[in-house]
Structure 1
Amino acid sequence: MKEKIKSVLWIIIGISLSLCVSGCGVSGGFVPIQNRAQKPAYAVIHDDLGRTVTLSAKPQRVIILTTSLLSFSAAVNGPIVGRTTVRSKQIHIPSQYIQATEVGPVYAVSMEKVLALQPDLIIIGAHSQEKLLPLCEQNQIPVIALKTKTRQEATRALQIMGQIYGCPQQAAMAQTVLDKKIQQVLNKLPNRTKTAAILHVTPGAVTVELSDSIAGDMARLLRVQNVTCPTGKAGITKEKVPYSMEALLAADPDVILFTAMGSPDKIDKRLRTDLKANPSWAHLRAVRTGQVYVLPEQYFLVSPGMDYDKALRYMAKLIYGEAFDATI
């Protein structure tokens, strides 16, 4: 009989404990993990490679691996801990980034140096640095890839910098100021158009730049007909197609513009070999009228960034000359 009573008592105690535990859950002391509200993300960014990048917190150790993006982060006073090495004396580095740790040139970044800086965000150039993605992702470092070739891409890059650094209004204000400066240049254009060929020269080749290049996009804004030179072959990239003297002669543009990448002596050698040595070169209208120009690399080899209006004005003066200066 006693054993029976003990069994009943243990059952009652067990039921009481179960009710007590259930009561704790209802009264608000414990919430199962799956039912807890997740902390909202700091920012969700859609980059120019079609990737969605979620930042859980505001980045504190940002590395920017393409020089053309530095002016956009500087426009919103965004700090960085690392950047690429710039060898050209023509290309401007924002003063607040001069002391940032250098991690190698844009096409030969040292990932060992990058990882040593323990970044919590890396910003790269879309397509040109896409190969860096796997290693960054392997080390669980968020990466945002951006383009800056065209005005539209540059506008978007500035907007995303505002998201990254938590100051979208500052980015919008900077964009408004820049847009007004650009419009001032466009308002001065004469009421006529010109034709131009934009040639890109490296020590190894000469190609023709299309409207998706930096210079090509600016020429379009300036109402310049960009004379392309199709050769019947597939284009080298979306921005360039192979150069053809025959097609250049047929188009006979008013102006010829050069962008160059490489040492001056090697570039000059390539120009002499591919262009100036050809007897037909001297018969081009642009050559006869002295309208052949080499564009400065700080504006046209890398994106001019927040100096877009200055680059646009520079090209407008070359193409339209006194007609541009005299226009009110």
Structure 2
Amino acid sequence: MKKNRVRVLSIGFVAGMMLAGCAAQQDAQSGAQPEVTATGKISPAASAQPASLQAGGKFTLTDDLKRTVVLERRPERIVVLSPEMLELMYAIGGTAAGRAEAAGIVPPKGAENVPAVGQMRQVSLEQVLALKPDLVIGQPVFHKDMEQTLTASGIPVAFLKLGSLEEVHAKTELLGRITGKETEAQKALAGLDSRVEQVLKKRPAKTPTFVNLNVTPGVVSIQRNDMAGLEIAKKMNLVNVAEELPTDKPDASTLPYSLEKLIEKNPDYIFLIIHGSKEAGEKKIKTEMESNPAWSSLKAVQEKKVIVMPSELFLTNPGLKYDESMTYLGQFVYPEAYGQPQTAGKVQ
């Protein structure tokens, strides 16, 4: 597959038999690809691209592994291996021919009966191929090893991730073009921007501190960066104390759990994210943390500010529900501004 010069999430139509006289169409014929702005929104040049494929045209996109993916036509059978991207696709009216499942994540409305091809981290390549997709959307970390088999079978694959709010904009517009739901995508983003703005208007001028702990059946870790929930907390004026913790691996996104480090930083809030089974996670919380007498010395524990956060709102990127995650967090941290929290989220 030929690789063009990298431009993150650039998208464009490589023309064939296009109408002349339109600047956007001329760009497509020359192979030019539009830029994505610093805000995550597609630039005006991208908006000028044709809204539908022209006869004989090809649709191209550059994925998050810097690969140029060429589609002979707009895909009709898309297998989506990322729950985040599946949620976005259905939010704008798109549909999938297959999907991967993830523990604790409920598929979006309308996708419940879409054939499953295994868990996100354990996808059955045989089941994917059996669905005869004309595009597979995978996650860069978990599905890269499927690329060779899929491309050898003549199936285009794009590896897309969803991290920041800016990426929510870029990926929503991208999926809008892939699925032919450009208008729906723009409408959804306009609604999201309006809701986020309203949430931020209520935000008090405080800077409480917090730490985010990942809880799995096998291990507990401290999240330093690279998680949707951390960006959400930052937008709500919270300060992540884990960013100040020393590490011999500056690029590491997590640190080993250390109660001593937590006691040293003594954050105002402790957010727990359970990965996988809720029952197994709750058991780990009791055996790894609450069983230690020193745990009760933490300010957040004493003030009942230890909160189990919903995975679909803080572990995976909430996408077009970003404002819901902000509001949920605001109810616990700033109840005077956002209303009383759902007490079921607290660890007593």
TM-score of the two chains, using structure 2 as the length reference: 0.76
Greater shift in the superposed pair: 317-326 or 99-108: 317-326
**2:271 matches 1:257:** yes
- Aligned partners of 1:114 and 1:192: how far apart in 2? 49
Contact 2:94/2:181 (<8 A) preserved: no
Match of 1:77 among 77, 93, 96: 93
Q: Deviations over 1:223-280 (max 9, x none)?
A: 1101106353426x75422222222111111110000113234223322333223232
Q: For 1:88-127, list aligned pairs within 5 A.
A: 88=104, 91-127=105-141
2:267 match: secondary structure: coil
Q: Does 1:230 align with 2:241?
A: no
User: Alignment identity in percent?
Assistant: 32
Q: Does 1:143 align with 2:143?
A: no
Q: Count the aligned residue pairs.
A: 287
Q: 1:192 to 1:324 in 2, by over 3 A?
A: farther
- The residue aligned with 1:30 is none
Once the two structures are overlaid, the 10-residue window that deviates more, 133-142 or 111-120, is 133-142
Shift of 1:61: 0.9
Letter in 2 for 1:198: N
Contact 1:65–1:125 (CA<8 Å) still a contact in 2? Answer: yes
- How far residue 189 of structure 1 moved from its aligned partner, in angstroms, is 0.6
Could you say what secondary structure the match of 1:104 adopts? Answer: strand
Distance 1:286 1:81 in 2: 45
Check the 8 A contact 2:93/2:181 in 1, yes or no: no
Aligned equivalents of 1:132, 1:157: Cα separation in 2? 22
Which one of the candidate residues 179, 185, 205 is aligned to 1:165? 179
In structure 2, C-alpha distance between the alignment counterparts of 1:212 and 1:225, rounded to whole Å? 15
Tell me how far apart the structure 2 counterparts of residues 99 and 164 of structure 1 sit (CA, whole Å): 22
Structure 1 residue corresponding to 2:144, chosen from 122, 125, 130: 130
User: Within 5 A, what are the aligned runs for 1:154-233?
Assistant: 154-228=168-242, 230-233=245-248
Shift of 1:111: 0.8
- Distance in 2, matches of 1:288 and 1:321, equals 18
The residue number in structure 1 matching 2:314 is 300
User: For structure 1, which runs of at least 5 residues remain unmatched after alignment?
Assistant: 1-36
Please report the TM-score for the alignment, with normalisation by the length of structure 1. Answer: 0.81
* 3-state SS, counterpart of residue 96 of structure 1: coil
Contact 2:84 2:162 in 1 (8 A): yes
Does 1:286 pair with 2:286?
no
What is the deviation of 1:206? 1.0
| CA contact 2:327–2:338 (8 Å) conserved in 1 | no
1:303 deviates by 2.3
Query: What whole-Å deviation, never above 9, does each CA across 1:142-194 have from its counterpart, x for those lacking one?
Result: 11111113212222221210121133333122111111111111111112111
How many Å apart are 1:138 and its aligned residue?
2.2
Quick check: which one's helix share is greater? 1
Which amino acid in 1 is paired with 2:149?
A: L
Structure-2 change in CA distance of 1:232 and 1:298 (3 Å): closer
Counterparts of 1:55 and 1:123 in 2: how far apart (Å)? 13
- Over alpha carbons, which structure has the higher Rg? 1
Aligned 8 A contact 1:201 1:260 in 2: yes
Can you give the 5+ residue segments of structure 2 that lack an aligned partner in the other structure? 1-29, 32-54, 341-348
Moved more, 274-283 or 292-301: 274-283
Q: Is the 8 A contact 1:41 1:55 kept in 2?
A: no
